[in-house]
């Protein structure tokens, strides 16, 4: 069985690299076959021994094992193998244009997952026959894009901008790359020293109709005589699937009392909804937010506020408190405690000014409103002031297990995100510095976060470390997206101001009204403990580990469990019997 790491990587990232599946000898034979024939497709029907190499790969035991689990048992070869190569004779286009994504959705290619059952309808099995190193160009992809809800922006599609999302796929000869077919991908100009040679097979789930085969059955149709008497529309609607002339099928257009037959490439699938040009939502921002679970807005702070905020922290540096170390046993994140300053709103004028202006800054309010709806509220801002050697923060939170009060849902054009942290950057953050890190796509995860991702010690390439310029603002799905921080490596201290926002829908941090009596007054007088346990006010939903809950014993008796686990956020919530 696939490990949780492998399940998580394919589910969240849309890809999985199985290293070293082919021996050097097999890789050499496959390469020699291409060298000898000078062809890059049709391998399954080449003459003689050479074709056997490629036929063997159809049922390579490692491949079968994985594709059974990714695509479902009974998977089929849907697309004949071909070589992705920089050889000019192959005439492949390396223009950097991208295709893929799950909007609009194509059910014959799409990724399905529900209740621990997965069927990716089309899986690409790509065998590396030569190394592909970082910086070589060639194949590129967008992590997590097999689950996009928002249409790919034009600039990304045309390769004119990458939104910081487009990544290379380093591989070693003999590796097997498994890719959900809806993953956004393309080919950039090849700059590698050696040859580009990736052998690409397309496997589909049992029932998928996507392409016609090349056998006689794909062309010959034995039709009963009465079919010829039908109208073109009637013949079209009674087509036999899987034939060359019915794959893809023609489109019927109902028009008054008639039905017209249109070409197959005029497929129609109407949407009830139109994109709203007046929504005020930037299409690239929505795409990035839905895809990744975070968003960076550039250059929001005024130079005056930026200078004043930095000056304030310099001036009140002695108020910085060093909190606990948060690497949670990680090797790569280990270090010293986290220095924070959380008196920012209490500072004397003018030093409090920039921080007070942050909490309801129009650029942030605009985004929060479409990301989770109006009515949000926030806590006091906290300055994170890591110095060289400060530990990272082990990655935490995820879509799995379910936690509605800190979740992300996309529905009918709206983003429903219940907990968002906004982080104002007072200094540049480069690749080498450390600080905020996250797993793009993890807000849609269906598998538990693996320990190697939590610690960043073995992250399968899924953890991303965004960089910033002073004055930028980061928004992330605190609670839905897996996030944390890398250890701080720069001589210049970190200067990030974190502000946590909650939606109007959920309580995030306890409060007096969690106590039954504070919530209901005299109404609860004389109630039993079991009754009182259901008369609480809203509290932080910490996977049920911080509130009293009812249990039915074997004899039918109701017990109240007070045992607490995880983080505790409300002193008002009863932790022992009240009656
Ligand atoms: Fe967090």
171-185 burial, b for 16+ CB within 10 Å, e for fewer? bebbbbbbbbbbbbb
Inter-helix orientation angle 24-37/50-58, to 10°: 130
CA of 396 to the centre of ligand 1 (A): 6
pLDDT at 104: 94
What are the tokens at 142?
Answer: 């967008």
Rounded CA gap, 128 and 199, in Å?
Answer: 6
Q: How far does residue 197's CA lie from ligand 1's centre (Å)?
A: 42
- The domain spans of the chain are 4-204, 216-266, 283-502, 514-561
CA angle 460, 106, 7 (to 5 degrees): 25
Determine the distance separating the centroid of ligand 1 and the alpha carbon of 21, expressed in angstroms.
Answer: 38
Instruction: Dig out the tokens for 542 from the structure.
Output: 């910490």
Task: Considering only CA atoms, give the Rg of the chain.
Answer: 28
- Ligand 1 centre to CA of 483 (Å) is 6
Residue 479 alpha carbon to ligand 1 centre in Å: 7
Class of domain 4-204: mainly beta
Distance 481 CA to ligand 1 centre (A): 9
Helices (H) and strands (E) in the chain, counts: 13, 28
pLDDT mean for each 10 residues of the chain (579 residues): 97 98 98 96 93 96 97 95 97 97 96 93 98 96 98 96 95 98 98 97 96 85 90 94 91 94 90 93 97 98 98 98 97 98 97 97 97 95 98 97 93 96 98 98 97 98 97 97 98 98 89 87 94 89 80 90 74 83
Query: Residues 111, 474, 157, 110: what is their CA dihedral angle, to the nearest 10 degrees?
Result: 0
Between the CA of 85 and the centroid of ligand 1 the distance, in Å, is 43
**Separation between Cα atoms, residue 144 and residue 10, nearest integer Å:** 9
Q: Alpha helix locations (H) across 158-302?
A: 232-237, 283-292
Residue 286 has a CB neighbour count (10 Å cut-off) of 21
pLDDT of the residue at 433: 98
Cβ–Cβ contacts within 10 Å for residue 207, how many?
11
Q: Helix, strand or coil for residue 208? A: coil
Residue 408: closest CA among 286, 538, 497, 496: 286
CA of 77 to the centre of ligand 1 (A): 43
Q: Distance from first CA to last CA of the chain, Å, rounded? A: 51
Residues forming beta bridges with residue 295, ordered by sequence position: 475
Joined together, the tokens standing for residue 444 give: 């849609």
Å from CA of 500 to ligand 1 middle: 9
- Give the C-alpha separation, 437 to 171, whole Å: 24
Residue 465 CA, ligand 1 centroid: distance in Å: 15
Q: How far does residue 484's CA lie from ligand 1's centre (Å)?
A: 6
Ligand 1 centre distance from Cα of residue 422 (Å): 11
Q: How far apart are CA 22 and CA 199, in angstroms?
A: 12
Of 556, 539, 456, nearest to 502 by C-alpha is 539
**Quick one: pLDDT at residue 567?**
66
Distance 507 CA to ligand 1 centre (A): 16
64 CA to centre of ligand 1 in angstroms:
39
Ligand 1 mean position, distance from CA 391 (Å): 14
Determine the distance separating the centroid of ligand 1 and the alpha carbon of 578, expressed in angstroms: 33
Number of C-beta neighbours around residue 470 at 10 A = 18
Helix (H) or strand (E) holding 120: strand 117-120
CA of 482 to the centre of ligand 1 (A): 8
Question: Selecting from 2.60.120.620, 2.40.440.10, 3.90.76.10, 2.40.50.840, what CATH number does the domain 283-502 have?
Answer: 2.60.120.620
* Cα 170 to averaged position of ligand 1 atoms, centre (Å): 30
Gap between the Cα atoms of 544 and 533, Å rounded: 13
Neighbours of 56 (CB within 10 A): 11
Name beta bridge partners: 197. Answer: 85
Distance 61 CA to ligand 1 centre (A): 41
Cβ 550 vs Cβ 535: under 8 Å:
no
- Domains 4-204 and 283-502 alike in fold: yes
């Amino acid at each position: 069985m696939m490990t949780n790491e492998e399940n998580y990587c394919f589910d969240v990232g849309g890809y999985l690299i199985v290293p070293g599946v082919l021996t050097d000898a097999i890789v050499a034979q496959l390469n020699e076959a291409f060298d000898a024939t000078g062809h890059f497709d049709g391998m399954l029907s080449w003459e003689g021994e050479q074709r056997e190499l490629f036929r063997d790969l159809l049922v390579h035991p490692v491949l079968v094992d994985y594709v059974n689990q990714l695509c479902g048992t009974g998977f089929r070869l849907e697309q004949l193998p071909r070589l992705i190569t920089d050889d000019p004779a192959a005439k492949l286009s390396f223009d950097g244009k991208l295709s893929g994504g799950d909007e609009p959705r194509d059910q014959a290619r799409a990724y399905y997952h529900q209740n621990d059952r997965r069927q990716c309808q089309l899986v690409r099995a790509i065998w590396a026959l030569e190394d592909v190193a970082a910086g070589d160009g060639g194949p590129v992809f967008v992590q997590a894009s097999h689950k996009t809800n928002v249409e790919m922006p034009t600039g990304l599609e045309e390769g004119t901008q990458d939104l910081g999302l487009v990544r290379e796929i380093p591989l070693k000869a003999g590796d097997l790359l498994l890719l959900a077919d809806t993953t956004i991908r393309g080919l950039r100009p090849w700059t590698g020293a050696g040859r580009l040679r990736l052998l690409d097979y397309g496997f589909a789930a049992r029932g998928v109709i996507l392409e016609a085969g090349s056998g006689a059955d794909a062309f010959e149709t034995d039709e009963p005589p009465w079919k010829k008497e039908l109208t073109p529309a009637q013949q079209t609607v009674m087509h036999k699937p899987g034939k060359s002339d019915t794959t893809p099928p023609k489109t019927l257009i109902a028009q008054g009392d008639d039905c017209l037959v249109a070409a197959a490439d005029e497929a129609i699938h109407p949407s009830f909804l139109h994109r709203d040009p007046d929504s005020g939502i930037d299409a690239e921002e929505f795409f990035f937010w839905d895809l990744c679970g975070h968003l960076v807005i550039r250059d929001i702070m005024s130079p005056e506020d930026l200078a004043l905020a930095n000056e304030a922290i310099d001036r009140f540096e002695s108020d910085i408190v060093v909190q606990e170390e948060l690497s949670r046993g990680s090797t790569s994140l280990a270090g010293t405690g986290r220095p924070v300053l959380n008196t920012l709103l209490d500072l004397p004028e003018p030093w409090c000014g920039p921080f007070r202006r942050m909490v309801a800054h129009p650029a942030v309010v605009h985004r929060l409103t479409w990301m989770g709806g109006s009515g949000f509220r926030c806590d006091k801002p906290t300055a994170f002031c890591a110095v060289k050697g400060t530990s990272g923060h082990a990655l935490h939170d995820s879509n799995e297990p379910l936690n509605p009060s800190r979740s992300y849902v996309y529905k009918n054009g709206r983003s429903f995100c219940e907990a968002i942290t906004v982080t104002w950057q007072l200094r540049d953050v480069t690749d080498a510095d450390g600080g905020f890190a996250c797993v793009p796509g993890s807000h849609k995860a269906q598998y538990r976060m693996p320990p190697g991702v939590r610690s960043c010690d073995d992250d399968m390439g899924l953890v991303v470390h965004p960089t910033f310029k002073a004055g930028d603002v980061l928004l992330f799905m605190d609670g839905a997206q897996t996030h944390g921080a890398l250890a701080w490596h720069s001589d210049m201290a970190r200067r990030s101001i974190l502000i946590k926002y909650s939606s109007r829908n959920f309580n995030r941090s306890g409060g007096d009204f969690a106590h039954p009596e504070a919530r209901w007054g005299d109404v609860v007088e004389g109630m039993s403990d079991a009754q009182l346990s259901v008369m609480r006010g809203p509290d932080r939903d910490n996977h049920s580990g911080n509130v009293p809950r009812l249990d039915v014993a074997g004899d039918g008796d109701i017990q109240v469990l007070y045992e607490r686990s995880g983080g505790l956020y409300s002193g008002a919530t009863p932790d022992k019997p009240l009656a």
